Chains A and B, each alone.
Chain A
Amino acid sequence: MNGIRRDVRLRPVDPGTCALRRGLERDLNDGPAQRVAALSVELGLFAADLTDPALGARVAGLQAALAVVLAELREIGGALYPPVLASDGFEPALRAVAERHGLAIAVRGEQVAHLDADTADATCLAVADHLRSVPPETKVDVQVRAAAGGVRVDVTEERVRCG
């Protein structure tokens, strides 16, 4: 495969910012997202009592509008802190982010399985922030190595024609 290679400089995310972003995503999920989902259920119950099909269609329209709101909240939440990062860690989280943006990703390095939670958070968020700016159909190679006082991450990108 021929493509353009370029090296990327990641913007580091400090521990305080990581914690803040994680907290905001949680607040978004437990607050507005949960409330909007409950509102949609409320509308579903309301629709069950309706006999007029025209009113039923209007309620369905409202539910569709709420689904759009939730999709937008989900987009913001995922950008703040990928949900898979909290539950499954560094590599699955990067794969999830890459998939969302239509990227092919390879995550390599013996360090990957042994990152402590803070390093995994900071590293994942830095790479994830970068992935959001990468055009779709790019192959991204993420290599993690041990370095003095932390880890060194090399990201290589290659534009590919996929399909």
Chain B
Amino acid sequence: MRVAIADDGALFREGLVMLLRAAGHEVVASVADGDTLVERVSADPVDAVVLDIRMPPEPDGGLATAERLRALRPETGILLLSHYAETHYLMRVLEIGTEGIGYRLKERVAGVQVLDDTLTRIAGGEIVMEPSLAKRLVQRPAGGGGPVGTLTEREHDVLRLMAEGRTNAAIAKELFVSAKAVEKHVAAIFGKLDLPGDQTVHHRRVLAVLAYLRAGRVDG
């Protein structure tokens, strides 16, 4: 895979370059700010970029750069890295795109295997989110506004587990129900949240989770 990196922390950036090379990827650009990265990637397209959220242009150059890049080259996978796992940043990431994009903590991609897996999933069109964020979402006070409020208690449980990135089989095990029952709940959730039927199942799951995040925001 051809990859470009932008991070204003030189030590961490150089480390990532070496990890990527160890995983067999070609690093075509390693720069300290978003604007330079966009310049380089426009002239020489890549399969994926790795962006630090907090870098120039300030205050959150990674997000601004991801936005520009998505408009310029929608097919390029984007991995955003941060020292902070914030729901707010996750929502901004999902507003930039719900395919081929990811948001992870820096120290959680500090291995050849995990970095390779993360980038491969993103380049394959998946969305990858930091597991600790999903966990925090589950623990926060539940709200009831909007279409999410029309879900039954059981559907709400299923949606929370979807937000944790669990598969139907894992959800079934957790809730002590059959996989078929989970499938029915998931279909009901999609229906109630009015999610477009022409999307892939994975994409619809992400949109459902996004609706869940948004509901938490306005419920207060």
Contacts and interface: CB of A to CB of B under 8 A. Distances in A.
Interface in A88-102: 88, 92, 95-96, 99-100, 102
B140 A102 contact: yes
Nearest to B85: A74
Interface string B1-42: 000000001011001101100100000000000000000000
B9 A38 contact: yes
A104 interface: yes
Contact of A70 (B92, B107, B219): B107
B160 to A, nearest CB: 11
A36 B107 contact: yes
Interface residues of B, number: 37
Interface residues of A, number: 46
A119 interface: no
Interface stretch (B72-80, B108-116, B186-194, B202-210): B108-116
B54 A29 contact: yes
Nearest to B21: A45
A125 interface: no
Interface of A: 29-30, 33-38, 40-45, 47-48, 63, 66-67, 70, 73-74, 77-78, 83-84, 86-88, 92, 95-96, 99-100, 102-107, 137, 139, 141, 160, 162-163
